[in-house]
Structure 1
């Protein structure tokens, strides 16, 4: 499974090619949204006047769409079926999904066909009956100790538990980071106009409590003799 995972990682890199570079306008959208989040989370570290000044500036910028890629364009998420960039993202995600799903299905079918009903190991610690369905897949018996692990269950345990091994062998940013997890649909373009509107509402609802308010009195009260 480790060798197949390494091979799958290399195939995923070959299929994906060079990762697309984000445009300057796309980076500006993301950083502008992060700026509002940082202001909300660090609001209490700023004096009230400084916080209000920043909040007013960002709320107006979010409302006017200053940080959008195309401020004058119509709002809404672009249709990935008609947007070339969205179509490219979808196709890239589908190719990577196929590179992950096909080898995984073949190995699981091979294990299930040739080793169905096999018991491989016994865990060196006791477990409750809740783990029986997870550790004894393919074995329908109620008398067997829960600590015994079937071949199919051992495959799934390795599938979910090899991520740390792949991080050591292939690096932290390897293509096997999501191994064993449901791949889901490829990422869809985000509607930053809606995200900016939501962040504007969040900023307006943020309650400011300056942490240095009456700090002298609080220090004297805490450390008075």
Structure 2
């Protein structure tokens, strides 16, 4: 309250029994049903071909070398950089060297990728449709309900997040509306689903939201093929400008100087 007094509000126990518990239980059941339905409709994901794995590992090898170059001597780094830059330039690790100058392959031309695209669309639909139906159900039947009061204090900025759909500027921030309780369960049931279904489950709706937002920020469409030739050439340019500085340079003298066994008689950029 504005005068600092405690707000005294008492909720009907029927709200707990017929609104709070049903929303939580239904969201758990829908998540379990969605996981089982995803397994039945999509089946096991297809195994990648060895050449596809080789492309990704070759790109990762260049990234690891660029990030951890200081752990190997200059001669070893120079040899690895020379080899990888030549391999990236010649397209040694490309799956199909004939398409080096043609850019990314057309995903629709490969029948094997059609099933992957359909599985991705099925997973997205099974994530969007249940969440949309649950939100509509809550807004239609339980709009304007106050369900629970959080036992810890919160700042005023949490009011819009915890009291969605309720226009009460003077209500304590700790009170949670029905629509906000839906979002709390959406992001908070991840541990419950991991305990029931395992870590790699399809019941968590936040993964789909994160994937869709990531693809939207990158301007990438679902199922869009990667142009590994461009990525290899970009990694080649990155490796060519990497500045190498070995972490173990003069390590013996630096250890002796650190423990006072020897005076500093060498020049080093590291202390």
Shift of 1:176: 2.6
Larger Rg belongs to: 2
Measured in 2, the distance between the counterparts of 1:104 and 1:178 equals 8
Secondary structure at 2:176's aligned position in 1?
strand
Shift of 1:9: 0.4
Given the alignment, which residue of 73, 83, 87 partners 1:61?
A: 87
For the pair 1:210 / 2:237, whether they are aligned, the reply is: no
Q: TM-score, normalised by structure 1?
A: 0.93
Shift of 1:28: 0.7
Gapped regions of structure 2 (runs ≥ 5): 1-26, 213-220, 262-271
- RMSD of aligned C-alpha atoms? 1.7
Secondary structure at 2:103's aligned position in 1?
coil
For the pair 1:194 / 2:230, whether they are aligned, the reply is: yes
Report the CA distance shift for 1:150/1:178 in structure 2 as closer, same or farther (over 3 A).
closer
Secondary structure at 2:98's aligned position in 1?
coil
Contact 1:86 1:188 in 2 (8 A): no
Shift of 1:89: 2.8
Q: TM-score, normalised by structure 2?
A: 0.78
Aligned length: 225
Measured in 2, the distance between the counterparts of 1:178 and 1:137 equals 20
Contact 1:86 1:189 in 2 (8 A): no
Secondary structure at 1:149's aligned position in 2?
strand
Q: Which residue of 2 aligns with 1:98?
A: 125
Gapped regions of structure 1 (runs ≥ 5): none
Measured in 1, the distance between the counterparts of 2:205 and 2:112 equals 24
Measured in 2, the distance between the counterparts of 1:131 and 1:75 equals 52
Report the CA distance shift for 1:177/1:76 in structure 2 as closer, same or farther (over 3 A).
farther
